[in-house]
Amino acid sequence: MRPLFILAAAGLLGACAQNGPVQLYAGSSQPDTQLVTLDVPPALEILHINGQPVPAANRMTGNQPRQLQLQPGEYRVSAYYKNIFDIDGGLSHEVVRSTSALFHIKGEAGERWTLGFAAPRSLEDAREQRFSFTGWAENTRTGERIAGEAEGGRSGMSGLLSGGPALAVNNAVEPLATQVPARSGATLPNDNATLTTLQHLWLMLDDEGRRSFLRWTQD
């Protein structure tokens, strides 16, 4: 029975770790020549793209980069580093999560971009870099690199912002140039889901963050 169980488990893992590109645009499938393909290393987790949580961007792909396909345009990708390090010869392990970095992409049709960063060489390196994580976005055709910037966002917020019951998500992301600007004086909907989301965010803030939030509400 054990060999059958192992084969079944391997099949399940294989089904979960899909290597095909992830469509992050609305409508029917389009050819690569009309899209921007973004390669995301397996050690990076996406918090949001253009301020929007995108759960599909973190789909399991084993140890292969994830391929995200977007409409041509400008994007701001917030991501953080996450990796597991063995300790004591594999007897135990430690998961290192960094704060987030913001990657800038200006992609034209048919281009391929990749998110890059200085990979930690050891557990000690990863610990040192986790509060100042940053990297770059690179156009693989031209070699152009756009430096990212450290955001300092908390990776722990990704669960709330990528599929929690209180917040609706959409895997179709519009380029920044085509997003509809918010109307002056626009307000959040007054419903239980919005209230629950704000309560969760409040609990995640430290004391200084709460004081800053209260000052902002009084402005």
- Kindly report, residue by residue over 85-119, the tens digit of the pLDDT: 988 777 888 999 999 999 999 999 999 999 999 99
Q: Where are the alpha helices (DSSP H) in 42-191?
A: 123-129, 158-161
pLDDT the model gives residue 3:
40
Position 210 confidence tier, pLDDT thresholds 50, 70, 90:
confident
The predicted-structure confidence for 154-169, as pLDDT tens digits, reads as follows 554 444 444 443 344 5
Name the nearest CA neighbour of 63 among 33, 47, 83, 78: 83
State which amino acid sits at residue 46: I
Question: What percent of the chain stands above pLDDT 90?
Answer: 54
Question: The whole model's pTM is what?
Answer: 0.68
Token digits for 202?
Answer: 């409040």
pLDDT attached to residue 123? 92
Domain residue spans of the chain? 13-179
